[in-house]
Structure 1
């Protein structure tokens, strides 16, 4: 589906606040409420918008988050992903090109849990190398 400027404006407004009313979005981008409603329904039906969510404030997020860069045996990558995604500390797993095969986002409430998670992933069969990057502060976050 090809997105036009209006679709992108709708998505931008919802990315800012997914609870923004259709009327408010319509006023903001200068369209009729019924037009905005129809566009949103089309974006949802086509799969461009899969759902709506919340962004947690700093007080509700886990205290420690990080990114793990993982080199794997190519024949074991799928099995590794299957095992790792069962860990509640793992928030996202991305395949990657380049030196690392997987980029894993983790979040925990304490360093002991983070340490156990890193140890578990690092010792998984097929994991050749793991590098951890602990996030110190978020300077910008755009999630769409």
Structure 2
């Protein structure tokens, strides 16, 4: 990946709907060059897809939380299967340190969030959980 590829990714990260013509104009290269680069970035898996990023207006009214889990040995696959079935679980990361998984979850209200946290904490194979409720977003550079 060279500087042109990084510049393409940077512009698409800010606006995934940007046309090939606009990318070419902004980066001062031929449209065919941008098209070829995009195809290569997609083929090699650097670009996995184009997506929608919700703004604050869409996220209002949704409670978000991070949940840290410690899992019993050999229970990870079963726990992941159950987490996958919960639509409120948006992302699951493996971690280093004293926790095994970090979950990002969202719920429409405190009752649903409370119930969800109880379900997760009570799963067979979950040794312990710690929940962090998100209050406000101060910096968001995620693409």
Please classify the TM superposition score into its range, dividing by the shorter chain length: over 0.9
**What is the aligned partner in structure 2 of residue 83 from structure 1?**
82
**What is the aligned partner in structure 2 of residue 34 from structure 1?**
32
How many Å apart are 1:54 and its aligned residue? 0.9
How many Å apart are 1:52 and its aligned residue? 0.4
Secondary structure of 2:35's counterpart equals helix
- Unaligned residue ranges in structure 2 (runs of 5+): none
* C-alpha distance in 2 between matches for 1:17 and 1:132: 33
Matches within 5 A, 1:35-50: 35-50=33-48
Secondary structure of 1:49's counterpart equals coil
How many Å apart are 1:142 and its aligned residue? 1.8
How many Å apart are 1:143 and its aligned residue? 2.1
**What is the aligned partner in structure 1 of residue 19 from structure 2?**
21
Secondary structure of 1:60's counterpart equals helix
Task: Give the number of equivalent residue pairs.
Answer: 142
| Aligned-residue CA RMSD (Å) | 1.1
* C-alpha distance in 2 between matches for 1:39 and 1:104: 34
- Unaligned residue ranges in structure 1 (runs of 5+): none
1:104 is the counterpart of 2:93: no
